[in-house]
Amino acid sequence: MIVHYWENFNFTDTMYCHAPQITDQAFVNFISLFPHASMDKVSEGVKKMLDAAEVDVVMYNYFLKLADHYLYAPLSQMRNDEFYIPFMEQVVASTKVTEVHKQRTELFLQLLYRNRPGSKAEDFVYTTSSGQSGRLHAVSAPYTLLMFYNPDCADCKVTTASLKRSPVVTTAVSSGQLKILAVFPDQDLDIWRSHLNEIPSSWINGYDKTFEIRTNDVYDLKAMPTLYLLNKDKIVILKDISVDNLNNYLSQINSN
């Protein structure tokens, strides 16, 4: 279905760009199929769609905007970098896209390729309120939850509260199965220090003293908070997850 999904769609009719009830819904239905197929088939389906859309630059850009809106935008419930990457890879491979557009997309892809599930998480140095420093890769535990956050943001407060009241997370932390490393990647340390008491003492709470994470795009922090679950070797298991995702994963491994 993914490979043949768009075969009867008229990509020359740009009026579809003004009919979101048709085009947007068709796109949402299309990407809803992605979790049920191999990534090879997803990439093949994306290629066929964008190749067909190249017949008109307006239509082509419209579908790229849809991909960005549903698969990459921070507030999208369907956000998924792994499903977004094939769209960006096809932009780079296209013969119809300008070189400037390709170069920008290639740089963006380098960010998307970092810290993917199955890859080793990028290491960095954090500093705690006592002035001690540590490295992500030196955190010793079967699992590490890496949380980039700004304690002053509403979503971060909600996520922190959800983690604190989760019985699964609390049990995993108290048993030593899970360590939580909360990292403030921004520059206003007064905000960070004013909320130190909101982070449990059983967590590691630090900040990026050199601002390397933001400056060098070590992690893609398009939204706060951003959570990664890592195994003992600091391989990324889950990327950009919710507390529900974490609870489900921990519950599954404990039931096995």
> Which tokens sit at 107?
């740089």
Cα angle 33, 36, 40; round to 5: 90
pTM, two decimal places: 0.89
- What are the domain boundaries of the chain? 14-113, 125-255
Cis check for the bond before 225: say yes or no (omega within 30 of 0): yes
pLDDT at 214: 94
pLDDT at 23: 95
Tokens 């706060």 found at: 224
pLDDT at 126: 98
**Average pLDDT along the chain, 256 residues, taken 10 residues at a time:** 95 92 96 97 97 94 96 93 97 92 94 95 97 97 98 95 96 96 96 95 96 94 95 96 95 84
> Quick one: 125-255 is in which CATH superfamily?
Glutaredoxin (3.40.30.10)
Look at strands 143-148 and 226-231 and give their pairing: antiparallel
pLDDT at 123: 98
